[in-house]
């Protein structure tokens, strides 16, 4: 098919449809014309897609058709329906698709942290490089614990939430580089491991776990999820499979930005635990139990709702209209 000739013949129809779709008020005849042109241009788009799957022309026609569809279908979907779909279908499906990669990243993080902890514990020279004996005594006996209670609980929870949400968003957004996520995971694991090593070297391992586990179970898992999302976006353009790289990136990008939005809420919960539960006078077993229950709730949400959504064909993407669905030729 000669695309230039096809475009030259049908461009007046496309421009007319675009004009009617943008017009504030339509007469009866114009409304009928809008519907007729919509059907005709949909056929044109289908034909163009059969020749070349992705092009500037098909994207332009998709946008015109979307405007026209919104015009004759009236109001957009109910906002409460959209919110319910996000939390019941899209978000858990996106989390579910990342479940194995999340666990793998978590295992790598723990391994790196464990090795750094052993290195610090068994090497006095490393401990000396971290600080003098007095400085390390101050860290393990005062600073580590006081960090969680030196500020009012509400403001501390808010600060932790925004900081962790920013880290998670960066992992998703910059994951496409393939470098940012491994770097972040390594640096965080190093920090946790060296702190743990210092605490254990001064026989404060029980204090370390009693203050890390209540909030850290969910907080660190959220970072692993964000890292998994970032790596999936990276892999989408490295190995797009049957899709074009553009299509693969678009699908994974939309799906995994859903993850970034969901993690804002997940990290809010872990921030509240860190601000109000971790420094509280509750027994250690009670604080760790609360943290474990929060983590269990996340995995139940992901595996039950997410598994059901994925088995039904959901990918965590936008619905077809919002994602730019197009008609295929028969």
Give 188-241 pLDDT, tens digit per residue: 999 999 999 999 999 999 999 999 999 999 999 999 999 998 898 888 777 777
Which of 291, 301, 117, 276 has the alpha carbon at shortest distance from 220? 291
Give me the chain's average pLDDT, please. Answer: 84
Does residue 79 carry a pLDDT above 90?
no
Q: Give the DSSP letter of residue 140.
A: I
Q: Higher confidence at residue 44 or residue 284?
A: 284
Unique residue bearing structure tokens 């595996």: 303
How many angstroms from the chain centroid is the CA of residue 169? 7
Unique residue bearing structure tokens 């464990």: 114
The CA dihedral of 175, 178, 184, 185, to the nearest 10 degrees, is 100
**CA-based radius of gyration for the chain:** 26
Residue 329: which pLDDT band, with cuts at 50, 70 and 90?
very low
Q: Is the pTM of this model over 0.75?
A: no
Does residue 118 carry a pLDDT above 90?
yes
Q: Can you tell me the mean pLDDT for 48-54?
A: 70
Contacts 24+ apart (CB under 8 A), 175-181: 175/227, 175/229, 175/230, 175/231, 175/232, 175/233, 175/234, 175/256, 176/230, 176/233, 176/234, 176/237, 176/249, 177/234, 178/231, 178/234, 178/238, 180/230, 181/227, 181/230, 181/231, 181/234
Q: Can you tell me the mean pLDDT for 236-252?
A: 70
Residue 330: which pLDDT band, with cuts at 50, 70 and 90?
very low
Percent of the chain with pLDDT over 70: 87
């Amino acid at each position: 098919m000669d695309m230039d000739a096809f475009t030259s013949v049908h461009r007046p129809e496309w421009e007319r449809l675009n004009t009617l779709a943008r017009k504030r008020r339509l007469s009866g005849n114009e409304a009928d014309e809008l519907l007729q042109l919509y059907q005709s241009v949909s056929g044109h788009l289908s034909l163009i897609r059969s020749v070349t799957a992705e092009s500037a022309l098909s994207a332009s026609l998709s946008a015109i058709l979307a405007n026209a569809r919104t015009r004759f279908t009236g109001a957009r979907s109910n906002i409460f329906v959209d919110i319910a779909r996000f939390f019941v279908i899209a978000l858990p499906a996106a989390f579910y698709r990342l479940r194995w990669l999340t666990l793998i990243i978590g295992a790598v993080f723990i391994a790196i942290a464990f090795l750094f902890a052993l290195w610090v514990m068994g090497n006095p020279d490393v401990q000396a490089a971290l600080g003098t004996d007095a400085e390390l005594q101050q860290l393990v006996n005062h600073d580590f614990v006081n960090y969680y209670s030196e500020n009012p609980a509400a403001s501390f929870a808010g600060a932790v939430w925004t900081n962790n949400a920013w880290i998670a968003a960066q992992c998703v957004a910059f994951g496409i580089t393939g470098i940012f996520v491994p770097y972040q995971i390594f640096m965080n694991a190093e920090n946790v491991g060296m702190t743990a090593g210092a605490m254990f070297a001064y026989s404060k391992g029980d204090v370390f776990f009693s203050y890390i586990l209540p909030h850290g179970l969910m907080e660190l898992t959220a970072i692993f999820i964000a890292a998994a999302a970032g790596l999936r976006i990276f892999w989408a353009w490295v190995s797009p499979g049957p899709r074009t790289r553009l299509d693969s990136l678009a699908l994974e990008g939309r799906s995994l930005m859903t993850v970034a939005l969901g993690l804002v809420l997940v990290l809010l919960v872990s921030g509240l635990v860190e601000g109000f539960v971790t420094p509280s006078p509750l027994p250690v077993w009670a604080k760790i139990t609360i943290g474990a229950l929060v983590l269990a709730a996340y995995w139940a949400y992901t595996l039950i709702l997410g598994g059901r959504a994925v088995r039904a064909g959901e990918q965590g993407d936008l619905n077809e209209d919002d994602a730019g669905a197009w008609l295929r030729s028969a």
